[in-house]
Structure 1
């Protein structure tokens, strides 16, 4: 099974959400449909970055590291690790 660590961005609230899942698109849908209580008030969410990990523990470890980043450091991380793709956050 594949696991992913991902970053969402809410333009309306200028905030990030950092998480991990085994299905990025389904998870994004859950966040944007309001089915996730912790993120419902910040909708809509935009997927701004994700990466695949070999195991759930690896995905969770990266999620923990990302959650310790400030908003500015998160933006820098996205730019650095987006493989040349621009970021509008």
Structure 2
């Protein structure tokens, strides 16, 4: 099984969200259907960045690394560095 760290963006809220999952397609559906509390205020979340890892621990570590920066500019840089 593969795990991924992802960044999604809502134009409506002009916000980014960073998370990790083992099923990105299902997770995006959950974000856009109001299942997740933080992302429930919008239904236009789109995937901006995806990194795949062999273990959940590695994906969670990358998620924490991105969130620790507390920087929108960093998130935008990571999202655009494909």
Name the TM-score, length of structure 2 as normaliser: 0.92
**RMSD value, Cα:** 1.0
Partner residue, 1:11? 11
1:38 partner SS = coil
Deviates most, 37-46 or 47-56:
37-46
1-side partners of 2:60 and 2:33: how far apart?
Answer: 23
Residue 21, structure 1, aligned to residue 41, structure 2: no
2-side partners of 1:42 and 1:61: how far apart?
Answer: 27
Partner residue, 1:61? 61
The C-alpha deviation readout for 1:35-74, integer Å capped at 9, x for no partner, is 1122101331011110110100000000001112311111
Partner residue, 1:77? 78
1-side partners of 2:68 and 2:43: how far apart?
Answer: 22
Gaps of 5+ in 2: none
2-side partners of 1:32 and 1:23: how far apart?
Answer: 15
Contact 2:2 2:55 in 1 (8 A): yes
Gaps of 5+ in 1: 83-89
